[in-house]
Structure 1
């Protein structure tokens, strides 16, 4: 696996009465296994499908974006790395709907483009911790793979 420095910041704010505070899923300069990738997705559907993500899109022009990335975090122990991955996955799974603020196109440390979208979780998966030194000094690294579906007006 290669390692990259993040060129984006992605902040997730869960929706719900008992939702926790916003969490930065990745920040500019973080070590990433795969950089933030956003691919447009347009769906045309004539009839509603119960439980499909299209239901979220229906009021938003049937268009959205698939955002995916894999980030890493360093820890002193295997157990701490594993716990972080499981905790992050649990948070997203328990609150799969939220708002995403995506900041990109950094120049001199300042994002030149900021967008906010409604987000639904497609997938989150923590990989087993590793002590692969390609990510940095000797430490245990947890890799977290995240896929979100973004809809709504860019604001």
Structure 2
């Protein structure tokens, strides 16, 4: 249930983007308090859940069903920023599938935080439907 005292759009500082509906359910459960969503930008068709975790006002959105990947996440992040202009951080939080390698043994359920390294944004994009020469997934960019 939404609280009667809903902050204005400029009072939200953290955006949280989920790729899957299951992730959205978990994100919503993490909120200490839920608020009514402020008016959105007229060109913004995304659906938001807004609330508070500790002292932080947070906006949560999910990618449209069936539209995964960096372009969809970028569009949601851009629209979120238009409606909530004071966002300082926007995070894509999801369950992931793991990326084990000789250097880093990353597996399902591990928590990963990326950072900029050598001019790359810290996110590797793999095309899961494209296997190259039978050797695994193709990295299509950072």
- Please identify which structure carries the higher strand content: 1
Relative to the length of structure 2, the TM-score reads 0.31
